[in-house]
A and B are shown apart, each in its own frame.
Chain A
Amino acid sequence: MSAEFDPNAIQGNIVRGYGIHHVRYLMLEVTDRKAAREFLVASLNGENPNVPIIQRETEWEENPEVCFNISLTFPGLQALGVSKKNLATFPIEFRDGMASRALKIGDFGDSAPTKWAPPFDEPDRIHLIASIYSDSEEHLDKVQTQVAEAFNILGTRDGRDLAKSKVVFGYVDSISQPKFKGIHDKSQNKNDELLDPLGTILLGYPTRMEGVYFGIPSPSELGFNGSFNAFRVLSQDASGFENFLTEAAEFLLKHPNLKDVLPPGGARQVGKGFSRKTALREIVAAQIVGRWRNGVPYELSPDTMEPDPKVSLTNFDYNRNSRCPVGAHMRRCNPRGGPIVQRVANLTRRIVRRGMSYGPDFDPKNPDDRERGLLGNFLGANLGAQFEAVMYDWLNLGLQHPDITGSNDPLLGANSVDTSWFDMTTRTGGKIRLHGLPRFVVCRGGAYTFLPSIAAINYLSQLKN
C-alpha cells in the first residue's frame, strides 16, 4: 500500500506553507455541475487563461505571485456527483461534517453552529472552500472573479500574517510544525524536531502508529494522496485575554506563595525593564501557552523570556518534573514524548496547522473589542484520530494527565468563568490554581474538507452523471 511520494501529485498547500502573507478563502456552492467540472478540468491543464491553475507541491526558486487551491466538503463531493458507494468509503466524521460534530469538538454555547456567521450557518450549501494566496489584492480579486464564473460564492474570508509572525494574542506562532521526510519546508529550517511519517498528513503512507494505515476512500484515484482539513474561523478575544492576565497578576501579587512564582527583585530577570506586575502577567501568559510571547519555550527557560545563552525553540521534551504546566495550551495539544495517560498515543495525534489572522490589529495599550482572530487550517490524514482526538480528549477534557482531567485548555478551551481553572507551576515544584478563565476563543464557523490530490481533481472533473 505504501508508495513513493511524488510532489507533483498533490496540491501545494498541504505538506508545507507557501510563505505568502495574504490569503482569501472562498466558500463555494456548486449550482451548475457541468460548469464546476469544466472549471476543474481547466484548473489542471491550464488551457483556459480565465481559470486559475491549481498550485502543485513543487519546489520553486521564487514564490509565485498567486497560488490557488481547492478543498471539498462531503456535500461538495455529493454535488460533484461522486457515487453513493464511494461516498460511503469516506470516514464518518467527514461524512457528518463539522457542524454535526460540534459537541465533540467543543463548539457549544457561543461557539454553537446555530450561532455561526454566514455562510457557515448553512453547512450543507458549502461545497468547496477554495483558497487564493497572494500578496497582491489585485490577484486575489482577479482569481475570485474567475471562480465566480463557475461557482456561486457564498462568502469570502480574508486573512493575513500579522507583523513579526505574531497572532492576535501577541505570541509568535508557527514555530513548530510536523516536518516530513523528503519535504523541504523553508519555514521549518530551524525546527529540529523528529520527522513525521507522511501518513500523518497524506492518505496511503505509513503512520506513526506501527502497522496502522488510515483508510483510503474509494476509488483510490480519489482517495490516495488526499488529506483532510478542519477549516475554522476562530474569533480571539485579545482584550479579554489581556484583562485576564492583569487580573491573574493582581491575584498573584496578593498570593502567600508569590515568592515561589516571582522572587523579590526577580522581575527584571523575566524580561528587560519589567515591573513586578508586568513580569507576572508575562509569566501567566507563558504558562498558559507553554511559550513566552516571544516564542521561547517555557520548558527550556522557565525564569526568563530572554535566556542567555539562547535555547532551541523546538528541541525539548516534557517530563514528570517539567516547569511547563501540564495544562499549558501547547503541551495539551502536543505532549511530545512526555508522560501521558494514553501511553500509545505519544506523537500519534500530530496536526499540521496553517493559519492567518483576520480582523484589525490589536494594540494592547489601546484595547478594543472589534472581532479579530484566526482563519485556521488543521490538517491531517484522519480528522478523527488527529483533530477530533486532540480537541475532545486533550483540549477539552484533559484526559492525558490526571492533574488536568476535567479542565479545559486555558487558551482555546470551552471555558466558562464559573468553573474553569488552570494550575500554574512554581519554582519550588508547587502549584497555584487560577480560576475564572473566560472563553477566549469562539468558533464563528468552519467545515471539514477533503484536500484532493491532482489525480482526484481529475477524477472529479471527469464524472459523467
Chain B
Amino acid sequence: MSNEESWFGRFVDTLPTKGWFKFLSKYVVTPYWLWKDPKPKLPGGPRVSSQPSDNVQRMMNLIMPLKDPSEIGKARAVMAIAQNVDEIFGGLDNVGTVHFARFVILGDKLCMISVYDGDFSNYIRDFIVTVGSVFDAIMAEIEGGSALIPTEQNVEAFIEWVHEHDLFQAPDFPTELFTLQDQAKGIGPDGPVHDLSTLPRNLVLQFHSNPDISLGGGYRAYPGFSAAQIREKLGVGW
C-alpha cells in the first residue's frame, strides 16, 4: 500500500500475498482489533434522505434463515410461496409502491429482494394489511418466525424483525462508513476525525457484526421515479 519507491515500501506492498502475513492478519491482528475496537451491528436497509429522489426506488434484501435448511425444509419454503403466489403479486400490486420483488433460496436462507418507494415500515405494514396470511405461511418456515405469527397482531415486532434481517447497505461514498460506525456508537458528527488509511480496517471489522452486506444502494436505470410515476407514464394505471 505504500507509494514510496523505497525497499521498505516495496516490501510492504508484497505483504498481503505472503502466507505468514495472511495467517497473522486472520488469527492475530483481526481478533486483536475486534477486541480493541468492536463495531456494533449496523442497521439494515436504505437510509432516510432529505433528498426526495433518494427516497424512491429503495432496495430491500431480506435474508431469512430457514428453520429447516435441509432439502425438505427448502421445499416447504418453496411450497409456502408457491401456494400464495397470486396473493403475493396481488398484495404487492395493492401496496402500490413496489417496483420489483423476488424470492431467492441461497444456502440455508430464504431471501426476499425487492425495490420499493418511500418508507420501509409503511411498505411492510401495508403488505401485512393486504396479505398478512401469506407472511404467516412464510414465517412458519423461518427460524424465530413462529413468535411473530399472526403478523397482523404483531405488526410492530414484525417490522422490526424484517428491519433486523434486511442487509446493511454499505454506503456509496466509502468514507460515510466512518459516520455510520460513529452513529452506531452514539458518537455525533462532532466526534474525532478519522484517518482515511483506517478505512480498510474499519470495513474488515464491520464484517464481524454484519457478515452479509449489500454493496451500496444498487444500480438504477431511471433514478428518482416512483413505481406509480412510471406506471402513469406507461399508461398502465397506478
Contacts and interface: CB of A to CB of B under 8 A. Distances in A.
Contact of A402 (B94, B129, B229): B229
A398 B97 CA distance: 12
A342 B125 CA distance: 11
Interface in B104-127: 117-119, 121-122, 125-126
B153 A399 contact: no
Given A92-B160, A405-B226, A405-B228, A392 B119 contact: yes
Contacts of A103: 48-50
B132 interface: yes
B160 A341 contact: no
A79 interface: no
Nearest to A396: B52
Interface string B13-37: 0000000000000000000000000
A397 B56 contact: yes
Contacts of B160: 92
B95 A104 contact: no
A248 B72 CA distance: 67
> Dominant SS at the A interface?
loop
A92 B159 CA distance: 10
B135 to A, nearest CB: 12
B94 A344 contact: yes
B162 to A, nearest CB: 12
B56 to A, nearest CB: 7
Interface string B200-230: 0000000000000000000000001111110
A342 B50 contact: no
Contacts of B155: 212-215, 385
A389 B121 contact: yes
Nearest to B224: A406
Nearest to A348: B129
Interface string B133-163: 0000000000000000010111111011000
Nearest to B96: A341
A108 interface: yes
Nearest to B155: A212
A230 interface: no
Contacts of A108: 50
Contacts of A348: 129
A57 interface: no
Contacts of B103: none
B96 A343 contact: yes
B151 to A, nearest CB: 9
Interface string A404-419: 0111100000100000
A401 interface: yes
Interface in A88-115: 91-92, 103-104, 106, 108-109
A342 B156 contact: no
Given A342-B126, A406-B224, A397 B154 contact: no
Interface string A197-213: 00000000000011111
A91 B55 CA distance: 23
B56 A382 contact: no
Contacts of A340: 96
Contacts of A343: 94-96
Given A91-B156, A388-B119, A406 B129 contact: no
B53 interface: yes
A436 interface: no
B60 interface: no
A313 interface: no
A344 B129 contact: yes
B55 A397 contact: yes
A384 interface: yes
B119 A342 contact: no
B117 A399 contact: yes
Given A103-B50, A343-B94, A407-B52, A209 B129 contact: yes
Given A343-B94, A388-B119, A392-B118, A213 B153 contact: yes
A393 B118 contact: yes
A14 to B, nearest CB: 20
A390 to B, nearest CB: 10
Nearest to A209: B129
Interface in A340-375: 340-345, 348
Contacts of A388: 119, 121
Contacts of B100: none
A104 B43 CA distance: 15
Given A214-B156, A385-B125, A402-B226, A344 B130 contact: yes
B232 interface: yes
Most chain B CB inside 10 Å of its own CB: which residue of A104, A340, A398, A399:
A399
A58 to B, nearest CB: 31
B118 A397 contact: yes
Nearest to B158: A215
B164 to A, nearest CB: 11
B48 A341 contact: no
Nearest to A112: B50
B89 interface: no
B50 A414 contact: yes
B53 A215 contact: no
A344 B50 contact: no
A1 B150 CA distance: 14
A397 B52 contact: yes
A397 B122 CA distance: 13
Contacts of A385: 121-122, 125, 155
Contacts of B152: 211-213
Given A215-B153, A341-B226, A399-B56, 12 more contacts: A91-B156, A210-B129, A211-B132, A215-B154, A342-B95, A344-B94, A389-B122, A392-B122, A401-B228, A405-B228, A405-B229, A406-B53
5 contacts: A92-B160, A213-B152, A389-B122, A402-B228, A402-B229
Q: Which 5 A-B pairs have the closest CB atoms?
A: A341-B96, A402-B229, A402-B228, A341-B228, A402-B232
